[in-house]
Structure 1
Amino acid sequence: MNSGVEPVRGSAVVVGASLAGLMAALALARIGMEVDVLERSDDTGRTGAALQAEPGLLEQLTGRGAASLRAAIPTGVQTWFAVHAALRAAADAECRIRLHQQTNVREARQDTGRAWVVTGDDKIFEGDIVIGADGHRSVVRRSVCPDKPDAEFAGYLIWIGIVDELAIAPQRHWPRDLAILNGGGHTFLGCSLPDDAGTREPGQGRLGWGWYDAGRNDLLRAQGCVVGNVVHHTLRAADIPEATYRELAREARKYWPSPWRDAVLDCIERRAVIGTPIAEYLPERLVDRRLALVGDAAHVPTPMTGNGFSASFRDALALAECVDECRGAGFEAALQRYQAMRLEDVRRLVQGGQNFSRGFARGG
């Protein structure tokens, strides 16, 4: 008797439940795989800026119509938090996905017939494949690329903030296009963002900004954000010295026009600023037999490319397509096809960003 439930068509362990991990899990579940997603955090303390959402993103990942989804992701520039929340809601609604939070993965392993990960408390999660979606400091990458395990510091950081338009003195004309500004050896990007309800009406949305700065690398090293040539963590608001806040306020008044100056000053006053050291990773491979990488675990371009999220989305779709079409040849063959499909594209993306980074870091 047909129950109407599709048979299980393999299993995967996805390490990381940020954007790339959730997208990979959704795409693999769509083709009938059982997916365990392991996330070391509990969703608190996450940080993110703005990104460009693809048309029909959730529909493509899940294979479901927009009306049947718990949350939608409108096309265009969105906050990281809004996109993550929608992906998380879709994953929670998918019976083939099991999310395990506060699960710290120590290493990834494999043999001829399976792949698995070992957690910090010695638990084992195994599947037909293991997908590393664990960011620029990926643990899974150490097994896939043991000769090149680390992303490298690009020589500068980005200050990030988001402000409600209503919090700033009223403006006659609110910007609706991406602003790209240069001043004092810095580069500044500003954009309009919807609020939590999706509002983009003038004066009722948000302004998001990112300020590229190559002049404070000593601060990053002093705070342990960068050790050697490896990025370890973001400089959080509470760890930014008061002297640095004052310097940023002076520079904002000097270099950036209204309303961007006002947005920066508001974030500084609220101590709602983070400083993220820019890491870059140019991959030589994405796969080792039953282990594969997606998103920032696979390739880390500077955010100046504007295509990091899109590349992660393409990774997820390509991974599911290759696994779905190559089942007869085996999972290892499927992952090799995934690598062939994605490697050159993501290398070009990272290399394009490196051209900017070399010039900007020297200029700072």
Structure 2
Amino acid sequence: MTTAMRDVPRSGNRDERQGAAIVVGASLAGLMTALALSHAGVDVTMLERSGAAPRARKGAALGGVSEGLLSRITGSRHAQGDSAPLSSVAPGVQSWMAVHARLRAAVDADPYIELRPHTLVRSVDQDADSAWVIASDQQTFRGDVVIGADGHGSVVRVGVAPDKPDATFAGYLIWLGLTNESSLASSRRLPRDVDILSGGGDYLLGYPLPGPDGSVALGSRQVGWAWYDASHNDLLCETGSVVGNVVRRSLTSGDIPEATLRELADKAEDLWPSPWREAILDCIERRAVIGTPIAEYVPDKLVNGRLALVGDAAHVPTPMTGSGFSASLHDAEAVAEAIAAGVRGSTVAQALGEYERKRLGNVRGMVQSGQQFSRSFTGRAA
């Protein structure tokens, strides 16, 4: 069988560019890593298994995101123009979709980044001179490095840590939903910040978000919620969302039985105050609910030769830490700095070793702090 080899061609002045990287995954960590690498003078090919548009993440929100932080990673040339500045209702809280759109616009505008959708990576490998990935259609993409930004089920992680390739199920899921403020009774005023509530052994995070058009005007906003629940693990196993101790996928609305939705509605009536109760009931009535099993991964290594990991491919904390986005940003900047230094100076593998030494202790501590919450919440032993 013929294998197609690609060496990442680019437009622009090649004399001013040094090195080529393959980034696997085009979610937040992958987009930030590609931008950081391009800014450092490295050409990037991104491989994304899904289509050009990301799958909607109903109700998913990110903490600690500011306009200045995004402008730093997108670069000043992308901070204005076609990408409008983000708006925020609660301080530092943004919808996942809005942040992704901002990063994606910057990637699309960068002539040194090529994003190839519908490219499923099957394996990674390397030798003394380069690293490469092989896609499901047998194409091979080769560069100086391969960066895994392919999430908690990372394929690249198998090449970096073959003795510890899987993130493990933390023992609970998060129900997520998103509704319009206009769907709530006018008397149900939203708080100015994130609400963190507990009841019946469960936790609920409720947060106001800008409307679909970015508006923060009263009545035009959205209402997101995340319900931490450790009582439906059997459903996760029955649907194949969790296999053994490994998270495989989220529960879509079609996966959730009517009896489970009725149970959630009854619990919401008992546990949660307004306006979150009304927001949850609205989502349940519209079947606009997803269930995300929580995975965790404490890394022992981030690098193997010319292969490296960033974001959830490298470390998977519970969302309760609120640190996932900022950790991915720091990964992106640190790995780009290391790769640029390695291509221009010492060897790439040695430079990536510096990236690992800089980030490994921090990200291990982040995940382990979240595990303390998970063990307390589920009653699991360490």
Q: Give 1:71 shift.
A: 4.1
Q: Distance in 2 between matches of 1:44 and 1:307?
A: 22
Letter of the 2:366 counterpart: L
For residues 157-216 of structure 1, what are the alpha-carbon distances to aligned partners after superposition, in whole Å with 9 as ceiling and x for unaligned? 000011110111112632111101111110000111111222222322111100000001
TM-score, scaled relative to structure 2 = 0.91
Alignment of 1:292 with 2:308, yes or no, is yes
Q: How is 1:32-181 mapped onto 2 (pairs within 5 angstroms)?
A: 32-42=41-51, 43=53, 45-47=55-57, 49-52=60-63, 53-65=65-77, 66-67=79-80, 70-74=83-87, 76-171=92-187, 173-181=189-197
| TM-score, normalization by structure 1 | 0.95
**Separation of aligned partners in 2, 1:227 and 1:30:** 40
Letter in 1 for 2:62: L
Equivalent in 343, 346, 356 of residue 339 of structure 1: 356
Name the structure 1 match of 2:7.
none
- Counterpart of 2:263 in structure 1 is 247
Are positions 1:23 and 2:32 aligned together?
yes
The count of residues paired between Structure 1 and Structure 2 equals: 361
1:197 maps to 2:208: no
Look up the match of 2:318.
302
- The one-letter code of the counterpart of 1:97 is I
1:22 is paired with a residue of what secondary structure?
helix
CA distance in 1, matches of 2:328, 2:153: 16
Deviations 1:87-142 (A, max 9, x none): 11110000000010000000010000100000011100000000000000000000
Per-residue CA deviations over 1:15-50 (Å, capped at 9, x if unaligned) read 000111011001001111110000000135343600
Output the amino acid matched with 1:12.
A
Q: Report the counterpart of residue 216 of structure 1 in structure 2.
A: 232
**Is residue 318 of structure 1 aligned with residue 334 of structure 2?**
yes
- Does the Cα contact within 8 Å between 1:6 and 1:32 map onto a contact in 2? no
C-alpha displacement of 1:245: 0.3
Q: Is the 8 A contact 2:48 2:116 kept in 1?
A: yes
Pick one of 325, 343, 358 that aligns with 2:375: 358
**Contact 2:188/2:275 (8 A) holds in 1:** no
Q: Which amino acid is the alignment partner of residue 34 of structure 1?
A: D
Tell me, yes or no, if the aligned pair for 2:67 and 2:85 is still in contact at 8 Å.
Answer: no
Q: Which residue of 2 is the match for residue 9 of structure 1?
A: 18
Distance across 2 between alignment mates of 1:46 and 1:109: 32
Match of 1:330 among 347, 371, 378: 347
Percent identical residues: 56
Equivalent-residue separation in structure 2 for 1:5 and 1:35 (angstroms): 13
Secondary structure of the residue aligned to 1:136 is coil
CA distance in 2, matches of 1:231, 1:214: 14
Cα deviation per residue 1:264-295 (whole Å; 9 max; x = unaligned)? 00000110000000000000000001000000
Counterpart contact for 1:58–1:73, Cα < 8 Å: no
Structure 1 stretch 329-338 or stretch 117-126: which is displaced more? Answer: 329-338
Report if the CA contact (8 A) 1:69-1:90 is conserved: no
Change (3 A) 1:45 1:220: same
Specify the code of the residue in structure 2 equivalent to 1:10. Answer: G
Tell me if the contact between 2:93 and 2:209 (Cα under 8 Å) persists in the aligned partners.
yes
Distance 2:20 2:365 in 1: 31
Q: Are the aligned partners of 1:12 and 1:36 in contact in 2 as well (CA < 8 Å)?
A: yes
Aligned to 2:275: 259
- Pick which of 214-223 and 64-73 moved more: 64-73
The answer to whether the 8 A contact 1:194-1:206 is kept is yes
Aligned partner letter, 1:47 = R
Q: 1:73 to 1:313 in 2, by over 3 A?
A: farther
The CA deviation at 1:324 is 2.8
**Structure 2: distance between partners of 1:51 and 1:6:** 39
CA distance in 2 between partners of 1:83 and 1:223 (Å): 30
Aligned-pair Cα RMSD in Å: 1.6
Distance 1:221 1:193 in 2: 32
Distance 2:212 2:105 in 1: 15
Secondary structure at the aligned position of 1:342 is classed as helix
Give the direction of change, closer, same or farther, for the CA distance of 1:335–1:68 in structure 2 (3 Å limit).
Answer: farther
Structure 2 residue runs of 5 or longer lacking an equivalent are 1-11
Equivalents in 1 of 2:13, 2:234: separation in Å?
Answer: 60
SS in 1 for 2:379: helix
**Cα separation, partners in 2 of 1:172 and 1:272, compared to 1, 3 Å:** closer
Q: Which secondary structure does the structure 2 equivalent of 1:84 belong to?
A: helix
